[in-house]
């Protein structure tokens, strides 16, 4: 098969297993103390700053970053183990998730020294949260068609006008990395990739309004973020003016590769495991086996990506592939389970399986959309296969 799709197997990591044990002990203690209860898809909906700060205190945020920026210089394999344990437990990780996963690494690659010194230690402490400011009302998959504009004023600052949408957790966050048009597009089919720029925007600036949009279960995670003559200081340019497209693409490789792309519905699978253990029902056990086999394959793929990141590679095409296969799995968990268990899904049910199923079902449309739809991802994979 085309080598751009396959990655070398991940070598076993003792350090990762060590930190995994520590996270498990921490989570068991927190659950015993009642500081959180398990939910599905908590990296979107489980906002809990106190919990995020506890993770920061234990050194489990900014794990792979240099110590001078508050990081811990640990491997991507160790970070993988930590994030995987948190997701499997359905812990409330949404507050810091984006900052730790992609905004921090983005700042490390492209940020100025001042930006890094100011912001990265606060992310690693679990105190500073980020949003992704990419999508707009008229620009989803065709991201390069965005219309939010920024122009320099006489003081060298940026004046931003436009609107971003689907901005997860903007109402709980401090900064956004906002993709804006700062120059005209170029010629040809890829010309629109020119003239795009990333800005680091303090969400408390005057002229920014954050309007809630409710998702299917009534939860408020989405927002519309409107910019009206927002003055962003000139030194808040991220990376290079006009290099926004390149930077966004690199950022998406981080966004797409992690265990949250197949574990969003794991708490439902865990609940189903309890049911199958109690019932001993043959069909349920077989379904558990089938779903587990798929999950185990996804883990291996995701581990291979973590190992590739440790080798300094940017495995964007395999990451797209894992996200496609993984998010499809997240939805299938719902369908497969309800085929073999009597259920009455309801968010109010006293039965934890009914509740988890309700949460997973109502979040299901999002799995294969966020971070680039599966159709777009398959296009990337097709390119890896040499078809385009």
Q: Is 337 in the site for another protein (CB under 8 A)?
A: no
Can you tell me the distance from the alpha carbon of 189 to that of 183, in angstroms, rounded to the nearest whole number?
16
Residues whose CB is less than 8 angstroms from the CB of residue 272 and which lie 6 or more positions away in sequence, other chains included: 284, 287, 288, 337, 341, 353
Nearer to another protein, 24 or 338 (CB): 24
Q: How far is the CB of 317 from ligand FAD (least distance, A)?
A: 17
Binding region for ligand FAD (CB under 6 A) out of 118-126, 226-234, 255-263, 363-371: 363-371
Q: Cβ–Cβ contacts within 10 Å for residue 372, how many? A: 23
Can you tell me the distance from the alpha carbon of 121 to that of 70, in angstroms, rounded to the nearest whole number?
4
| Partner interacting with residue 296 (select from ligand FAD, another protein, none; CB below 5-8 Å by kind) | another protein
Q: Choose, by CB under 8 A, the member of 155, 296, 311, 365 that binds another protein.
A: 296
* Residue 229 · residue 157 · CB < 8 Å: no
Which residue out of 255, 271, 336, 359 is catalytically annotated? 255
Hey, which residues between 240 and 269 contact another protein (CB under 8 A)? 266, 269
Q: Is 373 in the site for ligand FAD (CB under 6 A)?
A: yes
| Partner interacting with residue 135 (select from another protein, ligand FAD, none; CB below 5-8 Å by kind) | ligand FAD
Nearer to ligand FAD, 247 or 287 (CB): 247
Q: How far is the CB of 337 from another protein (least distance, A)?
A: 12
Can you tell me the distance from the alpha carbon of 107 to that of 135, in angstroms, rounded to the nearest whole number?
20
Nearer to another protein, 3 or 204 (CB): 3
Binding mask 1-40 for another protein (x = CB under 8 A): xxx-xx-xx----------x---x----------------
Please return the burial class of 282, using the count of CB atoms within 10 Å of its CB with bins 0-12, 13-18 and 19+: exposed
- Three-state secondary-structure class, residue 64: coil
Nearer to another protein, 18 or 202 (CB): 18
Q: Is 290 in the site for another protein (CB under 8 A)?
A: yes
Residues that bind another protein (rule: CB under 8 A) add up to a total of 55
Binding region for another protein (CB under 8 A) out of 92-100, 136-144, 192-200, 292-300: 292-300
Residues whose CB is less than 8 angstroms from the CB of residue 12 and which lie 6 or more positions away in sequence, other chains included: none
Binding region for another protein (CB under 8 A) out of 60-68, 131-139, 291-299, 356-364: 291-299
Q: Is 375 in the site for ligand FAD (CB under 6 A)?
A: yes
Can you tell me the distance from the alpha carbon of 72 to that of 55, in angstroms, rounded to the nearest whole number?
13
| Partner interacting with residue 8 (select from another protein, ligand FAD, none; CB below 5-8 Å by kind) | another protein
Q: How far is the CB of 91 from ligand FAD (least distance, A)?
A: 18
Can you tell me the distance from the alpha carbon of 189 to that of 172, in angstroms, rounded to the nearest whole number?
38
313-352 b/e with 16+ CB inside 10 Å = b?
A: eebbbbbbbbbbbbbebbbbbbebbbebbebebeeeeeeb
DSSP state of 12: P
- CA angle, corner 19, sides to 367 and 299, nearest 5? 35
Can you tell me the distance from the alpha carbon of 92 to that of 50, in angstroms, rounded to the nearest whole number?
10
Please return the burial class of 59, using the count of CB atoms within 10 Å of its CB with bins 0-12, 13-18 and 19+: middle
- Three-state secondary-structure class, residue 301: helix
Binding mask 187-216 for ligand FAD (x = CB under 6 A): ------------------------------
Of all helices (H) and strands (E), which one includes residue 5? none
Is 255 part of the annotated catalytic residue set?
A: yes
Hey, which residues between 125 and 184 contact ligand FAD (CB under 6 A)? 131-135, 140-141, 166-168
Note the residues at the interface with ligand FAD (CB under 6 A): 44, 131-135, 140-141, 166-168, 366, 369-370, 372-373, 375-376
Note the residues at the interface with another protein (CB under 8 A): 1-3, 5-6, 8-9, 20, 24, 84, 88-89, 266, 269-270, 273-278, 282, 284-290, 292-301, 304, 318, 321, 324-325, 375, 377-379, 381-382, 384-388
């Amino acid at each position: 098969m085309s080598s751009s799709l396959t990655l070398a197997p991940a070598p076993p990591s003792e350090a990762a297993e060590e930190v995994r044990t520590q996270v498990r002990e921490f989570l068991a203690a927190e659950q015993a103390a009642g500081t959180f209860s398990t939910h599905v898809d908590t990296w979107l909906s489980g906002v809990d700053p106190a919990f995020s700060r506890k993770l920061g205190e234990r050194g489990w945020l900014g794990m792979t970053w240099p110590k001078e920026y508050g990081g811990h210089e640990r491997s991507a394999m160790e970070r993988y183990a930590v994030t995987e344990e948190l997701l499997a437990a359905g812990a409330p990780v949404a507050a810091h998730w984006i900052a730790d996963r992609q905004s921090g690494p983005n700042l490390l690659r492209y940020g100025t020294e001042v930006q890094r010194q100011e912001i990265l230690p606060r992310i690693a402490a679990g105190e500073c949260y980020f949003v992704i400011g990419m999508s707009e009302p008229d620009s989803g998959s065709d991201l390069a068609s965005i219309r939010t504009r920024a122009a320099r004023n006489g003081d060298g600052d940026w004046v931003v006008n436009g609107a971003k949408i689907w901005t997860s957790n903007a109402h709980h966050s401090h900064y956004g990395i906002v993709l804006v048009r700062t120059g005209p597009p170029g010629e040809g089919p890829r010309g629109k990739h020119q003239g795009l720029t990333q800005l680091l925007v303090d969400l408390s600036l005057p002229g920014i309004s954050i309007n809630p949009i409710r998702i299917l279960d009534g939860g408020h995670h989405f927002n519309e973020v409107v910019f009206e003559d927002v003055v962003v200081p000139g030194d808040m340019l991220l990376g290079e003016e006009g290099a926004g497209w390149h930077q966004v693409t690199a950022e998406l490789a981080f966004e797409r590769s992690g265990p949250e792309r197949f574990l969003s519905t794991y708490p439902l699978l865990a609940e189903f495991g309890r049911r199958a253990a109690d019932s001993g029902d043959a069909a349920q056990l077989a379904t558990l086996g089938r779903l587990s086999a798929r999950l185990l394959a996804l883990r291996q793929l995701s581990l291979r990506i973590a190992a590739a990141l440790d080798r300094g590679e940017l495995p964007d095409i395999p990451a797209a592939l894992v996200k496609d296969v993984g998010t499809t799995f997240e939805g299938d968990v719902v369908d497969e389970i309800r085929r073999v268990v009597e259920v009455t899904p309801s968010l109010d049910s006293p039965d934890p399986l009914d509740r988890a199923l309700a949460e997973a079902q109502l979040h299901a449309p999002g799995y294969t959309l966020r971070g680039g739809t599966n159709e777009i991802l398959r296009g990337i994979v097709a390119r890896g296969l040499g078809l385009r």
